[in-house]
Amino acid sequence: MSVLVFMEAGDELSLQALTFARGIDPEAEIVAFGTAPAVAGVVHLAELGDYAPQAWARAIAGLGATTIVAAGSDRGNEVLAHAAVMTGGVFAANVIEAAGDDIVRMRWGGSLLEEARLHGDVRLMTVAPHAVAAEEAAGEPDVRTFTPELHDADMLVRVVERVDTSTGGLSLAEAPVVVSGGRGVGSAEGFEPLEDLASLLGAAVGCSRAVTSAGWRPHTDQVGQTGTKISPELYIPCGISGATQHMAGCKGAKKLLAINSDPEAPIMASADYAVVGDVLEVVPAISAELRRVRGAP
Amino acid sequence: MVLTADERAIETRHLGFTVSPHEECGVEEAVRIAEAQGGEVTVVTLGPPEAEEQLREMLALGADRAILLETDGADWDPEATAAALVEVIEGEAPDLVIFGNESADSGGYQVGIRVAHALARPIVTGLKALAVEDGQLRGQQETGDVYRVPLPAVVTVKEGINLPRYPSVPAKLRARRKPVDRVQPAARAPRIELVRLRVPEGRGHQAEVLGEGPSAAPAVVELLQRLGVA
Amino acid sequence: MIASAIALALALVVAGGLFARRALLLTRLVRMGKPSGIAREDDVPVRLRNEAVVVLGQRKLLQRLVPGIMHAFIFWAFIVLFPAIPIAMIAIVDADAAPHWGWYELLANVFCVLALLGVATAFYIRKVVRPRRFDGSHLGEADLILLWIASIVATLLAYHATESQVWAWAHVLLILGFLVYLPYSKHLHIATAAINVYFGRTRSRGRLEPLKFDEDVPEEEMRFGIGSVKDLTWKQMMDAFSCTECGRCQDACPAYATGKSLSPKLVIMGVRDHLFEEGPKALAAGDEYEGPPVASHGLLEEMAWDCVTCGACVEACPVNIEHIDHIVDLRRHLVMVESSFPSEAEPMLRDVERQANPWGKPQAERAAWSEGLDVRVLEPGDPVPEVLYWVGCAASFDERARETARSTAKLLQKAGVDFAILGPRESCTGDPARRMGNEFVFQAYAEENVATLNEQGVTKIVASCPHCFNTLAHEYPDFGGRYEVMHHTELLTSLVREGRLSPTASDQSITYHDSCYLARHNDVVSAPRELAAAVGQPVEMERREKQTFCCGAGGAHMWMEERAGPINEERVRQAAETGASTLAVACPFCTVMLDDGVKSSGRDMRVVDVATLLAESIDDAP
């Protein structure tokens, strides 16, 4: 087969990868592990137990596709990189467009685009999250189970244990609204008004790298290229200048409301809405107005 | 982002250079392991002669020596980079090789994995916690997934695994005297061939300013209601 | 007679011996001290003049009239009464041989009475008035000394009145006892103060002592500020020995005034106490000495971080102790060796190191403030302008400070001055890194900027930021950069005087805030006032000129959190007391801090740079 797409499940990013793969070849087939996603199409399914990247890659490589696509998630990138070595193929990560051998992919978390040509009999690509809108594909899969031939060392690296890392709060990556603070917040205590507003909106609280460097918030709160990448309905960065590092982490946000005292801060160029002012004055005012409008304390 | 005239690189005049965040954390992790259990830390990079400055910064963090695979600064694709690194790493025969999960600039996500295959070593990626004990490593990812793998092995780590130390000045001065070996790597024809770089178009519209200072609050709340999040 | 002679000789030997033993320890300690980073033997005429004015003339003490006169009486009495000591000794041995010069005895009696008046006043101040500056001082010791002085003087008066040997003995014994007690008490300042004043800075107070990081210095000999007691310089030890715990520095300190733990007096006392505790151990152990860090003594570390390097303490000190050197040197070791500093400052330090400015904004945008103004940006090889306008990081990147740069540029253009800016090649002068204690990063920037300026052939610089001004003018010469540097108010004032700029005064009431780095460290006080007077109706605050009260941004505090009460709000309160509608400044840090202070205290004052006021006044002219 020519085009194969690895779907981790029926999640948003995997569906985006499927859409992308079908954009190259409407007959693109799917490979999955454990459970087949509920989409129409041929699904090659193998049962290999818990996640083992090299084994899964071996299974994928064995299917003989010449173009292999996956989501640009941690697992997608990992599995395809292994599969690239196994197939002798060329692997380009975070691709946003592909036509034949010519691709466009992201550098710097998306602040720069690379137009490149792939050379190789086998091409592997992961799709940059939210570069493509997932198309409707629900349906009954045509499941073909298979037992891949693995090499001895393939199962050496696999998940052996799972630790609960939830901090109890709303997950930054999944929250519909995220309120973030940067240097303009001024101190760790300065985050209190942001947390207050977040609780009123059912939002998660994030921060910029300057804030984690200063020790005001833990790295798990960091939104950015090397932190958590978010894609909320609404992102409200407060006192964040909008450095490339940070913007790479919030490209997926549907709408962005920037609160900053500097009307010329870089973030204003990426914002849909803006309030110019001191974060420590504006944010409490918004919370107060919200309370007033809701008529509740 | 400003590009050079030939659109093949970023204009670096007036820019400062740093080490990629994942990688800086990787070096810090290596130094901590060596400090706790004894051992030697070597840092390697592929880049132009100016990259020695970043190697010296890592030596100041506590690495013992450095190797610079010297290029003319042109783009090297991930396969070529991995192949060049393998030639050097093989000779070093390390117990543990640490990479950043992906580089901040080109973000290829594959150099570590390619090197691991060439060395026939197991690789665990995206670690936020790493422990080495009795010839084995325990790695934990952001999601909480845990792996256990025998040494020698390869790992990639993510920023947040630790907070790199701020090097002392004596450490920076010592770093000036630590050895930096230079190697000329053999170039390979890139299989991801760069055609050109381009800066993505902006959103095309200006931000709608809702107001200035606290008096903008009512307009903000009205927006929140419109967006359905209030 | 022989018996008295022997007894006196014995007393002299015993007292002299005890004194010498202690003096020897003190001398050995000072000789163990590291060399000072700046020359302190040059400018002899200025040093001698300082001796005359500060020591003999008691000028700094007389800033507070009553305590000043009190001390002056006692001090001058010491000098005048000195010959009375050998006279008394002769009288002890042979009463007839002692000279009795009527004029001298009259003079001496007058000064004895003045001294007694002084002591009485001192007791009145200490027991009745009880000023806050004595909080933390050892009052008991002071009482003892005052009583001792009173006794010395009283016995002399008695001797003059009765000519009895008994009183002569009493006088001499009290003096010998005093001599022995002297080096164990803060009265040591009698011996050390004059020396300390002599070796103090003669030029800019804002110039810190550089450290040497050359490769040829072996690491064990390198000094990274004050780690343990053996890192103290001899001057810092002299400072510690000269402190009388008078507390004038404490009274002047803006951090202390707003509830922080920092008291410059307690810093010097802490260093002194640590020196006496650990110094002898260091002398004994020599190179093997490994003692606790000086910063761990009491609250020294916490106090070191509270400091805004405003210099009010140094200005107030009657014996010219240089507190800032101690504090910055403590910070240097904490930052450069222990990597220990307030965590909120880490991004700023990393940004200065990697991005060439403490705001972490791209250098490529450094000239963005000048958009639309057609300001010449110097490229390498370009002809050098008459004057280089050094804009500084704040005016380049902070939205409130940018206005000052725009106003200054417009004014210079209007006056037809041939100027240019360096744009992206202008890196941070390094002042925030240096005041934080990161001397290493500072020197890297100093060398880079000096190379840029020298290659370009720059000889004259105007800066709109007092910190840049101070560093360029007084600190860069240590790194090969010698330029004629003006603050923008100085240049603008001369342009107004020459008639190249013609402002008209409005009726707005303006109070001008003196920046520490302009007024106190560098004596620039009249130029900005001339500008304020040319554009409006000036009204002065009580703390002004060299007694100005800091805005709170110095010492890298622009980037650090403030514990306890905010310094900027206190200064804004002082400004509001004048009733002025406009608070004029001449520094981008002051602009931001005082504007923040106005906003957070809900007042109605406009904070604006004098350059902008001048530009507005000229624009508005018909």
The answer to whether A261 contacts chain B (CB < 8 Å) is no
Q: Do B214 and A282 touch (CB under 8 A)?
A: yes
Task: Name all chains with 3 or more CB-CB pairs below 8 Å to chain B.
Answer: A, C
Q: Which residues of C touch B18 (CB under 8 A)?
A: 354
Is A263 a residue whose pLDDT tops 90?
A: no
The end-to-end CA distance of chain B, in Å, is 36
Q: Do B109 and A282 touch (CB under 8 A)?
A: no
The answer to whether C360 contacts chain A (CB < 8 Å) is yes
| R_g over Cα of chain A | 22
Q: Do A290 and B109 touch (CB under 8 A)?
A: no
Return d(Cα C350, Cα C355) in angstroms, integer. Answer: 8
Give the closest of B17, B18, B169 to C336, CB-based: B169
* Mean pLDDT value of segment B123-132: 96
> Could you tell me what percent of chain C has a pLDDT over 70?
99
Count how many pairs of residues, chain A against chain C, have C-beta atoms within 8 Å.
29
The answer to whether B13 contacts chain C (CB < 8 Å) is yes
Are the C-beta atoms of A191 and A200 separated by less than 8 Å? Answer: no
The answer to whether A244 contacts chain C (CB < 8 Å) is no
Q: Residues spanned by CATH 3.40.50.620 within chain A?
A: 3-155
Give the closest of C343, C399, C599 to A214, CB-based: C343
**Structure-derived torsion over alpha carbons of residues A111, A112, A117, A123, reported in degrees to the nearest 10:** -20
Return d(Cα C109, Cα C91) in angstroms, integer. Answer: 17
Are the C-beta atoms of A5 and A70 separated by less than 8 Å? Answer: yes
Comparison of pLDDT for B122 and C94, the residue scoring more: B122
Closest chain B residue by Cα to residue A51: B145
Is C593 a residue whose pLDDT tops 70?
A: yes
Element holding A96 (H helix, E strand): strand A90-99
| CA nearest to C235, candidates C322, C312, C176, C318 | C322
The 3-state DSSP class for residue C531 equals helix
Give the closest of C344, C361, C599 to A214, CB-based: C344
Is A221 a residue whose pLDDT tops 70?
A: yes
Is C219 a residue whose pLDDT tops 80?
A: no
Q: Do A243 and C346 touch (CB under 8 A)?
A: no
> Could you tell me what percent of chain A has a pLDDT over 90?
75
According to the model, what pLDDT value does residue C93 have?
Answer: 86
Amino acid at C424: P
Tokens for B112, please give them: 């570590």
According to the model, what pLDDT value does residue A226 have?
Answer: 86
> Could you tell me what percent of chain B has a pLDDT over 70?
99
Q: Do A78 and B229 touch (CB under 8 A)?
A: no
pLDDT digits (tens, 9 = 90+) for C383-426: 999 999 999 999 999 888 999 999 999 999 999 999 999 999 99
According to the model, what pLDDT value does residue C620 have?
Answer: 63
Average pLDDT for chain C = 93
Element holding B130 (H helix, E strand): strand B123-133
Q: Which CATH class is domain A177-294?
A: alpha beta
Instruction: Give the bridge partners for A276, in sequence order.
Output: A260, B212
Is A289 a residue whose pLDDT tops 80?
A: yes
Measured in angstroms, the CA of A162 and the nearest CA of chain B are apart by: 5
Q: Do C561 and A187 touch (CB under 8 A)?
A: yes
Measured in angstroms, the CA of B133 and the nearest CA of chain A are apart by: 17
Q: Which residues of B touch A94 (CB under 8 A)?
A: 107, 109
Q: Residues spanned by CATH 3.40.50.1220 within chain A?
A: 177-294
Question: Out of 1.10.10.10, 3.40.50.620, 3.40.50.920, 3.30.365.10, which CATH number does the structure's domain A3-155 have?
Answer: 3.40.50.620
Return d(Cα B135, Cα C152) in angstroms, integer. Answer: 81
Domains and CATH numbers, chain B: 21-183 (3.40.50.620)
Return d(Cα C118, Cα C78) in angstroms, integer. Answer: 12
Residue C391 backbone phi and psi in degrees, to 5: -75, -40
* Mean pLDDT value of segment C451-463: 96
Measured in angstroms, the CA of C343 and the nearest CA of chain A are apart by: 5
Give the closest of A159, A272, A290 to B145, CB-based: A159
Return d(Cα C582, Cα C145) in angstroms, integer. Answer: 50
pLDDT digits (tens, 9 = 90+) for C495-523: 999 999 999 989 999 999 999 999 999 99
Q: Which residues of B touch C355 (CB under 8 A)?
A: 16
Q: Which long-range contacts link B224-230 to residues 24+ away (Cβ below 8 Å)?
A: B224/A201, B224/A234, B224/A290, B227/A233, B227/A234, B227/A255, B228/A233, B229/A176, B229/A177, B229/A201, B229/A202, B229/A203, B229/A233, B229/A234, B230/A201, B230/A290, B230/A293
Closest chain A residue by Cα to residue C342: A214
Is C564 a residue whose pLDDT tops 70?
A: no
The answer to whether B207 contacts chain A (CB < 8 Å) is yes
Give the closest of A114, A226, A257 to B22, CB-based: A226
Q: Do A112 and B200 touch (CB under 8 A)?
A: yes
Q: Which residues of B touch A273 (CB under 8 A)?
A: 207-210, 220, 223
Residue B129 backbone phi and psi in degrees, to 5: -150, 140
> Could you tell me what percent of chain C has a pLDDT over 90?
81
According to the model, what pLDDT value does residue C409 have?
Answer: 96
pLDDT digits (tens, 9 = 90+) for C243-281: 999 999 999 999 999 999 999 999 999 999 999 999 999
Q: Do C343 and A183 touch (CB under 8 A)?
A: no
* Mean pLDDT value of segment A8-36: 94
Is A166 a residue whose pLDDT tops 80?
A: no
Is C355 a residue whose pLDDT tops 90?
A: no
Q: What value of ipTM does the predicted structure carry?
A: 0.93
User: What CA–CA distances, in Å, run from C559 to C113, C291, C348, C595?
Assistant: 55, 32, 7, 16
Is C485 a residue whose pLDDT tops 50?
A: yes
Q: Which of residues 33-92 of A touch B (CB under 8 A)?
A: 51, 53-54, 74, 77-78, 81-82, 84-85, 90-92
Give the closest of A114, A273, A289 to B218, CB-based: A289
Return d(Cα C408, Cα C406) in angstroms, integer. Answer: 5
- Map tokens 């420590």 to a residue: A280
Return d(Cα C548, Cα C3) in angstroms, integer. Answer: 62
Return d(Cα B88, Cα B69) in angstroms, integer. Answer: 9
Taking the alpha carbons of A185, A187, A189, A191 in that order, is the dihedral positive or negative? Answer: positive
According to the model, what pLDDT value does residue C46 have?
Answer: 94
Are the C-beta atoms of C612 and C582 separated by less than 8 Å? Answer: no
pLDDT digits (tens, 9 = 90+) for B32-46: 999 999 999 999 999
According to the model, what pLDDT value does residue C622 have?
Answer: 47
Q: How confident is the model at residue C525 (pLDDT cuts 50, 70, 90)?
A: very high
Q: Which of residues 593-622 of C touch A (CB under 8 A)?
A: 599
Q: Do A216 and C344 touch (CB under 8 A)?
A: yes
Q: Which residues of C touch B212 (CB under 8 A)?
A: none
Q: How confident is the model at residue C242 (pLDDT cuts 50, 70, 90)?
A: very high
Give the closest of A74, A118, A272 to B191, CB-based: A118
Give the closest of B17, B165, B170 to C219, CB-based: B170
pLDDT digits (tens, 9 = 90+) for A75-134: 999 999 999 999 999 999 999 999 999 999 999 888 899 999 999 999 999 999 988 999
Return d(Cα A248, Cα A231) in angstroms, integer. Answer: 11
According to the model, what pLDDT value does residue A5 have?
Answer: 97
Q: Which residues of B touch A223 (CB under 8 A)?
A: none
* Mean pLDDT value of segment B89-93: 93
* Mean pLDDT value of segment C578-597: 93
Return d(Cα C410, Cα C402) in angstroms, integer. Answer: 12
Amino acid at B227: L
Element holding B91 (H helix, E strand): helix B78-92
Pairing of strands A29-33, A90-99: unpaired
- Map tokens 């002071």 to a residue: C142
The answer to whether B165 contacts chain C (CB < 8 Å) is yes
Q: Choosing among B2, B146, B222, B227, which should be mutated to test the A contact, i.e. which has the most A CBs within 10 A?
A: B227
Q: Do B15 and C424 touch (CB under 8 A)?
A: no
Measured in angstroms, the CA of B62 and the nearest CA of chain A are apart by: 19
**Could you tell me the strand order of the sheet in which A204-207 lies?**
A204-207, A177-181, A234-238, A255-260, A273-276, B208-212
Q: Which residues touch C413 (CB under 8 Å, ≥6 apart)? A: C373, C374, C375
Q: Do B212 and A276 touch (CB under 8 A)?
A: yes
Return d(Cα C117, Cα C452) in angstroms, integer. Answer: 62
